[in-house]
Amino acid sequence: MKKAIPVFLIIFVIAMLCFSSGCKKAPLADAEEEYIEKENTGEEATESTDNYNETSGEGENKDNSDNEIGEAGDKYINDFTLLDLKGEEVSLSDFEGKIVVLNFWATWCPPCKAEIPDFIEVCKLYEDRGVQFIGVSVDRDTGDLKKFVNDFNINYPVLVDGTIDNVAPRWKISGIPTTFILSKNGEVISSSVGMMAKAQLVKAIEDAL
């Protein structure tokens, strides 16, 4: 019995270390699993305008003074490449010379879904004025994503994070929806965390033009 006590303590310590280091999950993954669990159990998934894991209500605008993603230069900055739903590579720098509205979102996020119709409408309004909308989905099920894009007739490229690159962490995305307005060379002009109202989206674009 005396020899068994130190062994038990060692096993206990190892178990505690494994638990503390291996049970942490990414905030976005937690939010998705919580939403899916509510759907599977029949619990009502509230269609709120609160975004996941961040501030609630209407999107909070920020200028680029707080952004540490990249600095202005001669080349296109903050560039990345992901696959679209056709499996084709799309880079931010493909749209150099245009104002880019970059929206991080997911199909399982109610406020993300709620703002999509306004994004589609505003995209049409500015398509001839040098403004390019791009959606970056953090969905893990591309089947649901493709169905959503087709059902809503989304009229701008939707890229899938985790293909080629994993860009959400680099852009410090801790909650969705998050929307960035980028200059013609990729510099972050402003950002908004939370659902953006149509008027708010239009003003952000007008300020950037």
Per-residue pLDDT tens over the stretch 57-94: 455 555 443 444 555 556 899 999 999 999 999 999 99
**Residues 207, 17: Cα–Cα separation, whole Å:** 51
* DSSP 8-state secondary structure symbol assigned to residue 23: S
From 34, 87, 69, select the one nearest 181 (Cα to Cα): 69
**Mean pLDDT score of the chain:** 80
Given this model, what pLDDT does residue 40 score?
A: 55
Residue 169 has pLDDT above 70, yes or no: yes
Tokens of 42: 């029949």
Amino acid at 120: I
**What phi and psi, each to the nearest 5 degrees, are found at residue 115?**
-90, -15
Provide the pLDDT for residue 75.
Answer: 83
End-to-end CA distance of the chain: 77
How, if at all, do strands 99-105 and 178-182 pair? antiparallel
pLDDT of 167 strictly over 90: yes
Q: What is the pTM of this model?
A: 0.73
Q: pLDDT > 90: what percent of the chain?
A: 63
**Cα–Cα separations (whole angstroms), residue 168 to 8, 42, 86, 181:** 42, 30, 21, 16
Secondary structure (3-state) at 182? strand
The closest of 132, 70, 125, 62 to 100, measured between CA atoms, is 132
pLDDT of residue 185: 95
Identify the pLDDT of residue 58.
55
Q: How does pLDDT run across 82-129, given as a tens digit for each residue?
A: 999 999 999 999 999 999 999 999 999 999 999 999 999 999 999 999
Looking at residue 127, the DSSP 8-state letter turns out to be: T
Phi, psi of 4 (to 5 degrees): -75, -25
Query: What percent of the chain is predicted at pLDDT more than 70?
Result: 65
Q: CA angle, corner 46, sides to 157 and 191, nearest 5?
A: 40
- The DSSP symbol for 52 reads B
| For helices 110-126 and 142-152, angle between their N-to-C axes, nearest 10 degrees | 50
Q: Which three-class secondary structure state does DSSP give residue 94?
A: helix
49 pLDDT above the threshold of 90: no
